[in-house]
């Protein structure tokens, strides 16, 4: 059975079902189809299935639309709303289902577990199930495997294989990183790890690291928790520098000349689907034992305060030029959670916009990638957003915003214009030379 599956994978005759066609699932399905596999994409959202079946991508990702069109046309990629039928027809089932947090920051595995129940109903001897969804430690072994075994009546590791293989994708670079990045394969058992490794070797040029599922789960969460902690340090350093009256960017530039120091860039908040969530997933198993986090959770909490700190900077900056936030027009540049993507999930801009609106400000947003406005007015250009504005706030590091024509923008804004740089994209002295009042995270109001 093992040798047959490896031959199917090596010859690319195995049929692959990808369950969940979101930011991870659709690139996954498309890459395996492009490699020569027959791939069935399954999603309960009928609109997603209609879009993919017509040869289009419902998410903006460089190169993805073209690859979807090509592989649908060639018959290598198809889409269905029936997870059960896709499972029955496939040799490999890859789960890319969302795993959000509840309102009280606990893992919500409802969607993943429901998908597992459906997959289990269509599971048969000799199939491989791969979990790519980000999950709390021990989920694959203690929650997914029992569901699959109970409903299918098959023994995991004997009649079918199970592995946890976390994604390491960045929106805007998903196709490139899927192929080029190294990959962690965490098997339920040694044979499951071997089979899953054979699967990913067909498309991944980076190194494949084999371990067990629990180690793989913790490793995935540790990657993002580390980044969140590093950003929190940068943010706390920025708060310190604001009070001392020095520019945190100058401090970080000098500190990073040390060969063993690499401080991240501070900012108006941390967004996206991973960093705001994964630290809580990492801590969730030990919370039951009353473990008190001294680093990971405090760092997450600090990062969550940065949008409101940015609002306080805006209020203070306006006050310095004898203006009030409630009577001001504020132009927000960027609603996506990171630069050069259209994804606004957990964007820090949302909290900033909603708080400014609550305080009575007239808020207008411009984002060249994203159509979300979080209830504010929308502009079609930087110039339109800046027209008659009292304050310009940068909340996303889109490349376009690094090259703002300050002289032209100043003529459009009201007297005593203010720039609050929530991403530290602009050089402070250059902004001041154009007769703006400049403030930013780690630059402060001194």
Which candidate in 8, 127, 220, 351 is catalytic?
220
To the query of whether residue 250 is one of the catalytic residues in this protein, the response is no
Do residues 14 and 8 lie in contact, with contact meaning Cβ atoms separated by under 8 Å? Answer: yes
Whole-angstrom CA distances from 113 to 97, 108, 151, 165, 370 are 9, 10, 12, 17, 31
Give 318's DSSP letter: H
Cα–Cα distance for residue pair 358/311, rounded to 1 Å: 11
Contact 5, 128 (CB under 8 A): yes
Residues 6+ apart with CB under 8 A from 390: 318, 323, 328, 329, 330, 413, 414, 416, 417, 418
Q: Are 184 and 218 in contact (CB under 8 A)?
A: no
Interatomic CA distance for residues 346 and 268, integer angstroms: 12
Nearest by Cα to 251 from 269, 263, 259: 263
What's the DSSP call for residue 206?
A: S
Active-site residue, from 274, 323, 338, 370: 274
Distance between CA 173 and CA 167 in Å, rounded? 13
Does the active-site annotation cover 274?
Answer: yes
Q: Is 345 exposed, middle or buried (0-12, 13-18, 19+ CB in 10 A)?
A: middle
* 181 in Cβ contact with 206 (< 8 Å): yes
Residue 278 half-sphere exposure toward CB, CA atoms < 13 A: 24
The tokens for 226 are: 């580390």
Helix (H, G, I), strand (E, B) or coil at 209: strand
HSE-CB at 133 with a 13 A cutoff on CA atoms is: 30
Q: Which residues are catalytic?
A: 220, 274
């Amino acid at each position: 059975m093992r040798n047959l599956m490896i031959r199917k994978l090596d010859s690319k005759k195995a049929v692959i079902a990808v369950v969940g066609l979101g930011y991870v699932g659709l690139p996954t399905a498309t890459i395996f189809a492009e490699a020569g596999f027959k791939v069935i994409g399954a999603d309960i959202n009928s609109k997603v299935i209609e879009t993919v079946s017509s040869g289009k991508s419902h998410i903006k990702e460089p190169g993805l639309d073209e690859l979807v069109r090509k592989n649908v046309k060639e018959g290598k990629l198809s889409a269905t709303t029936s997870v059960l039928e896709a499972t029955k027809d496939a040799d490999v089932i890859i789960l890319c289902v969302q795993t959000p947090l509840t309102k009280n920051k606990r893992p919500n595995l409802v969607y993943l577990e429901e998908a597992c129940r459906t997959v289990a109903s269509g599971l048969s001897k000799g199939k491989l199930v791969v979990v790519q969804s980000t999950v709390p430690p021990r989920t694959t072994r203690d929650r997914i495997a029992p569901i699959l075994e109970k409903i299918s009546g098959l023994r995991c590791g004997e009649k079918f294989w199970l592995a946890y293989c976390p994604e390491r994708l960045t929106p805007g670079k998903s196709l490139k990183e899927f192929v080029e990045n190294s990959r962690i394969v965490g098997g339920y058992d040694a044979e499951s790890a071997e089979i899953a490794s054979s699967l990913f070797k067909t498309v991944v040029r980076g190194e494949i690291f084999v371990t067990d599922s629990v180690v793989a789960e913790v490793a995935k969460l540790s990657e993002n928790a580390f980044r969140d902690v590093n950003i929190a340090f940068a943010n706390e350093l920025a708060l310190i520098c604001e009070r001392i009256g020095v520019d945190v960017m100058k401090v970080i530039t000098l500190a990073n000349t040390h060969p063993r120091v690499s401080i991240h860039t501070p900012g108006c908040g941390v967004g996206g689907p991973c960093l705001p969530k994964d630290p809580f997933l990492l801590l969730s198993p030990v919370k039951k034992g009353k473990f008190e986090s001294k680093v990971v959770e405090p760092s997450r909490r600090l990062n969550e305060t940065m949008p409101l700190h940015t609002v306080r900077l805006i209020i203070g900056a306006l006050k310095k030029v004898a203006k009030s936030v409630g009577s001001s027009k504020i132009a927000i540049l960027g609603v996506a959670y990171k630069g050069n993507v259209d994804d606004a999930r957990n964007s820090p801009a949302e909290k900033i916009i909603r708080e400014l609106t609550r305080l009575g400000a007239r808020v207008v947003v411009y984002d060249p990638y994203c159509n979300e406005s979080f209830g504010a007015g929308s502009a079609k250009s930087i110039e339109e957003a800046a027209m008659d504005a009292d304050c310009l706030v940068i909340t996303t590091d889109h490349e376009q915003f690094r090259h703002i024509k300050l002289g032209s923008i100043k003529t459009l804004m009201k007297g005593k214009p203010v720039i609050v740089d929530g991403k530290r994209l602009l050089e402070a002295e250059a902004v001041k030379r154009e007769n703006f009042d400049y403030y930013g995270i780690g630059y402060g109001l001194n």
